[in-house]
A = this chain, B = another copy of it.
Amino acid sequence: MAQLPTVDDVAQRAGVSRQTVSNVLNSPEIVREATRLRVQAAIAELGYRPHASARRLRTQQSSTIGVRLNPVLNGISGSILDLYLHALGERADERGMRIMLFTAHDIDDEIRHYQELRDGADVDAIVVTATFYDDPRIEWLAAHRMPFVAFGRPWGRADLDDPDRLWVDVDGRAGTRKATEHLVKRGLRRIGFLGWPLGSGTGDDRRAGWQDAMVAAFGSGEAELAELSMETDEGVRPGRVVIEELIARCDAAAHPLDALVCASDSLALGAMMAVREAGLPHFPIFGFDNTPTAQAVGLSSVDQRLGEVAAGTFELLMGATGRRVLPHGSGSDDDPRHRLITPQLVVRRSSHLELVEEAGGTVPGNHDRKE
């Protein structure tokens, strides 16, 4: 058999017509059982598989979603998008969807790709990541009625509930609150926060969670909160530098720092190095993102549960169990247009460089504890 079998081959074999074969595949319930079984047998015998491009041409659907593969910016945390991608891939498989990747050098380039993918009927929907205030990509997608989901809230926009703006995101505030509460429960009092400069939606959100917990537990006032927190740029080095200042400041105030919650694993790693240098081997630290690095060095962190995020992405695009992408702007009113995932603590034994105290097993299992 030189050629791949087509519907006609199957039809001939089963003694029915093209369309009946097509029906067996797409709406089996309207075909009489006897015929259906005969056709299915023929399909199996010939090893027939529908030709995806032909189907797409006819249905104008690709069963494919497009995702931009962002350039690796920040060493450590860049990988969370990769983890999301992995999770998306698995969920896509369950729904019979595919993922098409593309790279772009800037936003305009990305929009150019959207257009190509749309016009070529290559994708049914787009997943937009790393969204920002007044994102032109969102405007473009909405204007062209292209189905999409954003990973990341439309920070600062009034239209959080705009039915045209589907989004999934991680509730960072709940995450840092959980981390802080965990430290409070362990009897710690002076819990600091190391975050990013004010103004980034995500960063402010994570700081708010720490603040919530501190106010609830100790009724901390503005002054104390300011004394216990610092802001700096993302990265290991900035984290290390700034945390020294914070420790010094608290020591000077005669209320030494007890523990630390950070806005990212990078910052936390820097802080971890600084506290070790400062001779505080058991200083508890929480990172955020639960990156492979955190796992490797035994840093406690907040896991974003990207599997849930990916599942939410498809729910928004295709409904709870649907097998095709819903048109842009549809969706029932009782179904919210977004998903906010609550992250999970991953507590690694001493909340910092744990390995030092461990017994020397050769192939240790996973000691992470989730809560």
User: Chain A: residues with CB nearer than 8 A to chain B?
Assistant: 4, 49-54, 56-57, 62, 64, 69, 71-72, 75-76, 78-79, 82-83, 85-86, 89-90, 92-93, 98-103, 115-116, 119-122, 232-233, 235-238, 240-241, 244, 266, 269-270, 273, 277, 292-293, 295-297, 353, 355-356, 358, 360-364
> How far in angstroms is the closest Cβ of chain B from A98?
6
CB of A156 to closest CB in B, whole Å: 25
Bound complex: CA A204 to CA B281 (Å) = 37
Give the CA-CA distance A90 to B85 in the complex, in Å. Answer: 17
Residues on B with C-beta less than 8 A from A358 are 237
CB distance from A246 to the nearest CB of B (A): 13
Q: Is A103 touching B98 in the complex (CB atoms < 8 A)? A: no
Q: Which residues of B contact A71 (CB under 8 A)?
A: 86
Query: CB distance B86 to A297 under 8 Å?
Result: no
Closest residue of chain B to A353, judged by CB? B273
Query: Which of B53, B92, B296, B356 contacts A121 (CB under 8 A)?
Result: B53
Complexed CA–CA distance, A53 and B270 (Å)? 50
A296 touches B51 (CB 8 A): no
A76, A98, A99, A116: most-surrounded residue (chain B CB, <10 A): A98
In the complex, chain B residues whose CB is within 8 Å of the CB of A64: 100
B101 touches A85 (CB 8 A): yes
Report chain B residues within 8 Å CB of A355: 236-237, 240, 270, 273
Are the CB atoms of B296 and A236 closer together than 8 Å?
yes
Q: List 23 A-B contacts (CB under 8 A).
A: A49-B115, A53-B53, A53-B57, A53-B62, A57-B57, A72-B83, A75-B293, A75-B295, A76-B293, A89-B101, A93-B102, A98-B122, A100-B101, A233-B363, A236-B355, A237-B358, A237-B361, A238-B363, A240-B355, A241-B360, A270-B355, A277-B356, A293-B293
